Amino acid sequence: MATGRAAIEDRVAGLQKGADVCLVKPIDVRELAATVVALNNRVKRDHKAPPAPPAPQWTLVEGGWTLTDGLGHRLRLTVSEQRLLACLFRERGNIVGRSALVEAMGEDVHDFDYAQLDTIVSRLRRRAKKANMLPPLHAIRGLGFTFTD
C-alpha cells in the first residue's frame, strides 16, 4: 500500500487491514524495488507446488485377466478386453492397427464389425472409471489404438 499519511497509526491501520507493506509517499524507487523483490521471494517460498501424485504403473496380472494401476486399483477383464489389452501391452507405446486387434481377439478381420471394437474400448473405459482408474488407452483416428505410459 502506498499512502501520503506518514503517521504510524495510519500505517499500522493499513497493515492490520491486510496490506503486506505500507510505503509513505514519495516512495524512493530503490525502496519500492526492494519491497517488490522481498514480497516475490516470500510468495515463492510460501506457495511451493505440492508434490506430484505417484504415476500409475499399468500392468496385467493374474494371467492377464486383471488390469492394475500400481496404486491399488484393480479391474477384472472380460475375454475381449483381456485379448485387446494383451495385444496393446505387447506393442506398448506404439499404434496397433484395428485389424491386428481384431486378429488378437480371435476374430475374422473380414467378418468382424469394427464398431464392436469401439464398443469394447468404450465399455472398458467406463468400467475402469468406476474403479477409479484412467488407463492411457487412446484411439488414433483412422489407424487404431495405443496404450501409453
Least Cα distance to 121 among 149, 92, 101, 91 occurs for 101
Instruction: Give per-residue pLDDT as tens, 4-52.
Output: 777 888 777 877 888 878 788 888 888 888 888 888 888 777 677 678 7
Domain boundaries, the chain: 2-46, 59-147
Q: What is the mean pLDDT of residues 117-146?
A: 94
Least Cα distance to 131 among 52, 57, 76 occurs for 76
What grid cell was written down for 126?
467406463
Contact in structure between 77 and 66 (CB atoms under 8 Å): yes
CATH architecture of the domain with range 59-147 = Orthogonal Bundle (1.10)
User: If you average pLDDT over every residue of the chain, what do you get?
Assistant: 89
Least Cα distance to 144 among 55, 109, 127, 134 occurs for 109
Note the pLDDT of residue 134.
94
- Give me the torsion for CA of 21, 24, 27, 31, rounded to 10°: -40
